[in-house]
Structure 1
Amino acid sequence: MFRFVIRSSISLAAIAAAAPVFAEEIPAYPTVTDDDREIIVTATRAEVALDHTPASITVLDKAAIDRSQDIGATELLLRTPGVTISRNGGYGTSTSLRIRGAESDHTVVVIDGVKLNDPASAGGGYNFANLLVGDIDRIEVLRGPQSILWGSQAIGGVVNIVTAEPHNELEGSFDVEAGSRATVSARAALGGKNGPLRWRIGGQTFTTDGISAVAPAFGGEEKDGYRNDSITGRAQIALTDNLEVDLRGYHSSARVGFDSTRGDSEDYGLNSETLGYVGVNFALLEGRFRNRLAYSRTETERDNFNPTRERPQSFESEGINTRWEYQGSFDLTRGIAAIFGVENERARFLSRSPSASLATPVPAFATGETEATSAYGQVSVEPIDGLTIDGGIRYDDHSRYGGQTLLAVGGVWRLPTGTILRASYGEGFKAPTLYQLYSDYGNLALDPEDAHGWEAGVEQHLFTRKLTLAATWFDRTTTNQIIYNSCPATSTDPLCLVPGSTTEQRWGFYSNVSRGEAHGIEATAALHFGKLTLDGNYSWIVAEDRSPGTANFGNWLPRRPRNAANASVSYALPFGLDLGAAVRWSGSSFDDAANTNRLDAYTLVDLRAEYRISDSVSLFGRAENLFDEEYMTAYRYGTLGRSFYAGLRGRF
């Protein structure tokens, strides 16, 4: 069977070709100013020039990340087109990121080539609350269905995180800053190249007194603090000219206070994320045939406590993913290249919620496990100068849902006039999560979610790339969408009974009842004129519930503003002082599926400055939410008000 899959994947990929990416100028503070540099992206699972990729991608490089001065990766991502977030309070509280109106768990997060998600969470996705900037060297935001290359869950898109690699015999960096609410952040990294060894290790610690998770308007008064410690490391050992061992690791440990649904409480949560990777890279045929064999493992542990309870621990869970993979890339001839691979992924979880009463026995863990074996192929062809056509196919054999075949195709045409035309089509699917199947709210009759989407865009470079204008239209439909259904005390629905019981009711269950549709426009503009940089982006996203025959038909999907915009200006003065300002505007949205709780529009203004003391050391400072705007991204939950930060940065 597998031989058939692999042969079919590679041969069909040569005809159809895969779900790639659209180059856009980077909005707000994160702006690439070196216009003559060819930007290379890796979210396509191979190094590809950005101008050769047909679908949509935004790249934030190290210079852009430093310039933004943001502590968390979420704030960086929020400045990019098509991205919205909702957060249940201040730093560290549950944070959901949505790309083009898709569900938050429809985004795949990749750190140094390894998917990082929590199979024990309800949607099986990634909580962006604990992703700090740390030693990140580059962030790539790939929008649209991307399951061809990244498998189940990549319906909305992919966030590809790449940590720094060494370039010198010995190098390092550090950032130290402090500010409002007793916030302190310190980051350092060290690395080097010594003979056959390249290595780098980095760490960050962050702490803040925070704000009340529940907004003051709803009675929130006490502060919910947050602490996060993280470390990343990587090493490559060249055994021969064509053979290399690759080791990568990441660990994050966090503690955050949060409030109950009724108001202030002493609840807090502990979160631990660990990622490990070992791979072997080897090249054949004078480097034209590159191969990678790898094993990776991710583990996420979450525990909640309330010291006022008779039994303090209120929740515990663990989610583990293990993956074996082979990937090959082959430059067949000039203008024709192929990527193909085989993967085996196993996910398992355990979860339970002990009662507050010591008289009630601690329940057994809800547990579950799934396995998926996949093969994929993608071919990129350049039939004439300036035109690239990509296409691909993927086959997944899921232990519970059997076979699934997905296709994608796209093209990009680079014209002599500085015009770039792009179009792509991609398919995606997401199997029900272990939590949705096997938890106390599980439903074993669930079907996978399916999606398909397309986009078309144009990008125009003028005045030797000093001015760039771009616009993209996208359209996506998701069927069999899984939602949570609450169970009233008087419900007679059989699914409101605990599985295996004829009398014991449960709070709710998951079911396939939704159909979601999203379409819209992403527009960007950037001007680089000497020391002055202006840029911005605007997103119009119509994300609606289109479930036939339901009360919510035509309603906005929750927490998805239809309109959002970012703009920034920066200027570099000749004596080493850089000044900048950024504005973010978000239109109104609704917090619930019934569209009864409205979240008002808001505008946030930030200022920043950086002074270069020397070529390697800088002082920096910023003011966020300068006008102390009151707003909510999730109903009843607080957000950060006016904040000031200052720090010292070194690169050597």
Structure 2
Amino acid sequence: MLKTAISLAALLAATPVLAEDEEIIVTALGIEQPRDEVGQAVTVIDADTIRTRQSVSVTDLLATTPGVRFSRNGGVGGVTGVSLRGAETTQTLVLIDGVKVNDTSGIGDMYDFGNLLTGNIQRIEILRGSNSIVYGSQAIGGVVNVMTGTPGEDFAGNASVDYGYRDTLDAKADISGTSGIASGGVGVAYFRTDGISAASNGTEKDGYKNLAANAKLKLNFTDALSLDLRGYYIHADLDTDNGIVDSVADTSRTDQYIGYAGLNLALLDGKLTHRAAVTWFRTDRDYTSGFGPFGYSGTNLRFEYEGVYQPVEQARLIFGYDHERPDYDFAGFGSVESHKADIDSVYALAVVKPLAGLSLTGGVRHDDHSQFGGATTFGANANYTPNDGATNLRISYGEGFKAPSLYQLYGADVGNTALLPERSESYDVGFDQRLDGDRAILSVTAFLRDTKNQINYDYSIGLYGGYNNIDNTRAKGVEAMLTLKPVDALIFTAAYSYVDARDRDTGARLPRRAANAVSVSADYVWPFRLSTGATVTMVGDSFNDSTNAQRLDGYAVANVRASFPITDNLEIYGRVDNLFDEGYATVYGYGTYGRSAYGGVRVRF
């Protein structure tokens, strides 16, 4: 596969094209960077795609991109983990408007995507491959970077509301603009549904409510000095079931608070820039059950400094320091726990362009953890374009690590303070080819990742077991994505990935990670302005458990959609999800939605 990809890239590099505007990526380095400099695999889901697809959950959008697998306990709002390239769901680092939001109160610091709805989100970048130099702990599988909109020069607003299956209401609104030195925006989104039974064999509906709000304010005091303030809040109430059995007593309440305050300063005519920021993330999770109430709280307070020095166009140096303080609290069943740690990190990267079309990136990071000591990671990548961005040949090597979570270190009866960090080495090679003024874009990537010292539950420890570094895993495969726009009215996208993720000690496939997944989408705007589209996602068989004894059958889900503009500012839209009423599960014993229909209206000014 590697030889075929390289040969095809060399052949396509000679094909003449018409270059379009340069796309900017922010996730690879943590700063704006032209895609032609990025040597790693990055997929972008833009505002037009988010609006056209009409998806409620961010996870449903991620599932249409290469290398992504997910598992959800029941319907929308259920606990949802996202795996990149076969990594653990706890090894996906998640950012919302620049803030690291992995839950420090979770067993493995996993971010629960169940409560992250599309709301007023305008852009998502998915970076696949280990990348701990910029982000530190967690980025073994990759990074999911979620962003709300950037205010424009004019005042603008959007609002929408739709209603459908199981008394589901989805409403959102936002407004933004610029006046003098200030630019900013605010948004709010509300979702509620009677839901389905979380247990696949249950009959009692498990309802869900979600309220999200976001705000941004930027003050440009001068051309060289500015202040960024950002906030995001999510409140969610979920009825659920006790495992895979109907229950009216089991509920959860979640509050997430996200804050960012950053000062930006440019010196030496913009050649040297500084960013100093404080970020804060807190998750409160409260549960009721037949065994009584209990709850978790996790807080992560970070100080970030980042400097960028670009003495000449062909060279750029990025350097920084982070201090992170994760906290963990638990209360319930007659016990109380509280733990915290300190992590200090320094890093440096260099981006150089020694030849026309060639961009080389390399860097190193060192993290010092108050519990287990230090971890040093390296990374390097290259991007070569022989024809001004029409063809990009990419190769990368990245190291990743994940610090043990506070629960894994200190949890009552199960914690192990001798745990080592999980470590990974990731390699990939690929190409991107653009034809006919971006009317055809093909991307192919082959990858390999080895992870050692993976933390899992070890039943041989003590009376009840506990956490230990007992697993070594390997994931390898191929990702491909094709975008076609043969005419302005039609856009077609297809994504395929083969992911072979296994426990290297037992040879078993890692649970809930199907080897094969395909997603195909098409949208067409008719001459009378009606837009119609469909997405079909096919996922192969997988296993629910680490011993591969419990099979999850593969499935194919088709969604169709339509929209029609009544005026330039008013639009009606609707969709049917799971058109053919496919029965399937991403977690054994948990239910999923059957055929369901929704319709609504959008306005903008």
Flag whether TM exceeds 0.5 (same fold): yes
1:316-350 superposed Cα distances (whole Å, 9 cap, x missing partner) = 11001000111111212021112111110001101
1:270 pairs with one of 253, 257, 262:
253
Structure 1 match to 2:554: 601
Map 1:26-425 to 2 at 5 A: 36-43=20-27, 44-216=29-201, 220-261=202-243, 263-266=245-248, 267-306=250-289, 312-313=292-293, 315-354=294-333, 362-363=334-335, 365-416=336-387, 418-425=390-397
Matched, 1:464 2:421: no
The answer as to whether partners of 1:250 and 1:275 remain within 8 angstroms in 2 is yes
Letter in 1 for 2:483: A
Q: Does 1:480 align with 2:488?
A: no
Which letter maps to 1:442? G
8 Å CA contact 2:198, 2:244 repeated in 1: no
Amino acid at match of 2:204: E
For the residue of structure 2 that corresponds to 1:192, the secondary structure is: strand
TM-superposed CA distance for 1:37, in Å, is 3.0
C-alpha displacement at 1:35, in angstroms? 7.8
Letter in 2 for 1:97: V
Task: Spell out, residue by residue over 1:201-237, the C-alpha distance to the aligned partner (whole angstroms, 9 max, x if none).
Answer: 1011100111111102xxx110111101010111011
d(CA) in 1 for partners of 2:346 and 2:397?
19
Query: Structure 1: how far apart are the matches of 2:482 and 2:304?
Result: 39
Q: Which moved more, 1:257-266 or 1:623-632?
A: 257-266
Letter in 2 for 1:286: D
**TM-score, scaled to structure 2:** 0.94
Contact 2:66 2:496 in 1 (8 A): yes
Matched, 1:496 2:454: no
Mark the CA change 1:300 to 1:35 in structure 2 (over 3 Å): closer, same or farther: farther
Q: TM-score, normalised by structure 1?
A: 0.88
Q: Distance in 2 between matches of 1:330 and 1:135?
A: 34
Aligned length: 583
SS of 1:435's equivalent in the other structure is helix
1:615 deviation in Å?
2.1
After TM superposition, give the deviation of residue 168 of structure 1 in Å. 3.0
Structure 1: 5+ residue stretches without partners = 1-33, 355-361, 487-492, 498-505, 548-552
Q: Which of 416, 420, 430 is 1:443 aligned to?
A: 416
Q: 2:105–2:329: 8 Å Cα contact kept in structure 1?
A: yes
Which amino acid is the alignment partner of residue 469 of structure 1? Answer: L
Match of 1:511 among 433, 458, 468: 468
Where has structure 1 moved over 3 Å in runs of 4 or more? Answer: none
Cα distance in 2 for partners of 1:186, 1:532 equals: 28
Q: CA offsets per residue over residues 93-133 of structure 1, 9 Å max, x none?
A: 11010000000010111011110011110011200000011
CA distance in 1, matches of 2:199, 2:554: 19
The letter of the residue matching 1:250 is Y
Structure 2 CA distance, aligned partners of 1:174 and 1:193? 19
CA contact (8 A) 1:172 1:651 kept: yes
Instruction: Map 1:472-621 to 2 at 5 A.
Output: 472-486=445-459, 493=460, 495-497=461-463, 506=464, 508-530=465-487, 531-547=489-505, 553-621=506-574
For residues 213 and 352 of structure 1, the distance between their equivalents in structure 2, rounded to whole angstroms, comes to: 25
| 1:390-445 Cα distance to aligned partner (Å, 9 max, x none) | 11111111111222211101101112293221000000111110011111221222
Deviations along 1:172-207, one digit per CA (max 9) or x if unpaired, are 111211111111010001121110111101011100
Separation in structure 1 between the aligned mates of residue 214 and residue 574 of structure 2, nearest angstrom: 26
The percent identity for this pair of structures is 41
State whether residues 281 and 299 of structure 2, in contact with CA within 8 Å, keep that contact through their aligned partners in structure 1.
yes
Moved more, 512-521 or 526-535: 526-535
Tell me the secondary structure at the aligned position of residue 378 of structure 2: strand
The amino acid that maps onto 2:332 is S
**Which letter does structure 2 place at the counterpart of 1:532?**
L
Q: Which runs of 5+ in 2 are unaligned?
A: 1-17
Q: Tell whether the 8 Å contact from 1:35 to 1:466 is kept in structure 2 after alignment.
A: no
Q: Which whole-Å CA distance do the structure 2 matches of 1:167 and 1:42 have between them? A: 19
> Shift of residue 262 of structure 1?
5.5
**Which of these residues, 401, 406, 412, is aligned with residue 429 of structure 1?**
401
Partners of 1:35 and 1:439 lie apart in 2 by 55
1:618 to 1:403, Cα distance in 2 relative to 1, 3 A: same
| d(CA) in 2 for partners of 1:253, 1:322 | 20
CA contact (8 A) 1:367 1:439 kept: no
For the residue of structure 2 that corresponds to 1:298, the secondary structure is: strand
SS of 1:51's equivalent in the other structure is helix
- Superimposed CA distance per residue, residues 423-474 of structure 1 (whole angstroms, 9 cap, x where no aligned partner): 0000011111001111122122211100011000022222232122221000
Distance 2:355 2:318 in 1: 20
Check conservation: 1:474, 1:520, Cα contact below 8 A.
yes
Which shifted more, 56-65 or 254-263?
254-263
Asked if 2 retains the 8 angstrom alpha-carbon contact of 1:576 and 1:613, the reply is: no
SS at match of 1:134: coil
1:541-564: CA deviation from partner (whole Å, max 9, x where unpaired): 0000112xxxxx111000000000
Displacement of 1:144 in angstroms is: 0.4
Residue identity matched to 1:565: V
